[in-house]
């Protein structure tokens, strides 16, 4: 299922957010959600009025997720001995009118200053498997704008209706993405 320009999900914001002129500048350039064998493949590209460095810093500022993200309810850190920060994210997800909290336990791997992997701990939380990669790309000649690329493979333990599952996941991603990016634009504007 392809979603163009801010469509509706990810946060159509991912759907989201409403604030001033520059806050409305975030836009989804391309969005796609497919489902095969219960695994969702999610790919989104967005353009945002936030400097690449501010965007990279926000990705690693876990304490701010609850304020910046429309879906994140809580963040906690696991005490497990790992080579990477292990973060438990509690999300509020709605499928049609049924909402529930879901947990995703991930190791956060910094691949480079502008590329991050969120590798789910298989079988932990409410996902059998999850792997998310975000990349931040400079827009030539404009230090206050960036391209945000997000790709994920998600295999939830909870039921997602087969015929409309990709649409539902796309809506949630659009809402999350747009909301977060617009809140980041607003925060940068206020600095």
Q: What is the pLDDT of residues 76-105, one digit of tens each?
A: 888 776 788 889 999 888 777 788 899 999
Query: CB atoms < 10 A from the CB of 102, how many?
Result: 17
Distance of CA 170 to the CA centre of its chain: 11
Ranges of residues in the chain whose predicted pLDDT is under 50? 1-24
CATH number of 2-190: 3.30.530.20
DSSP letter at 172? H
pLDDT of residue 7: 28
Query: What H or E segment, with its residue span, contains residue 59?
Result: helix 52-60
Structure tokens given for 81: 């001995």
């Amino acid at each position: 299922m392809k979603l163009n320009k801010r469509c509706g999900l990810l946060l159509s914001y991912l759907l989201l957010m409403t604030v001033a002129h520059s806050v409305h500048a975030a836009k989804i350039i391309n969005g796609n959600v497919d489902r095969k064998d219960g695994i969702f493949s999610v790919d989104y590209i967005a353009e945002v009025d936030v400097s690449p460095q501010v965007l990279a810093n926000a990705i690693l500022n876990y304490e701010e997720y609850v304020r910046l993200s429309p879906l994140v309810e809580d963040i906690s850190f696991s005490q497990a001995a790992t080579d990477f920060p292990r973060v438990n994210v509690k999300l509020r997800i709605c499928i049609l009118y049924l909402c529930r909290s879901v947990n995703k336990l991930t190791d956060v791997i910094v691949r480079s200053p502008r590329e991050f992997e969120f590798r789910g701990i298989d079988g932990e939380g409410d996902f059998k498997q999850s792997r998310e990669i975000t990349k931040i790309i400079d827009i030539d000649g404009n230090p206050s704008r960036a391209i945000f690329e997000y790709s994920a493979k998600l295999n939830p333990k909870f039921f997602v209706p087969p015929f409309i599952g990709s649409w539902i996941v796309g809506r949630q991603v659009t809402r999350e993405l747009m909301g977060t990016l617009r809140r980041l634009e607003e925060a940068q504007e206020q600095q």
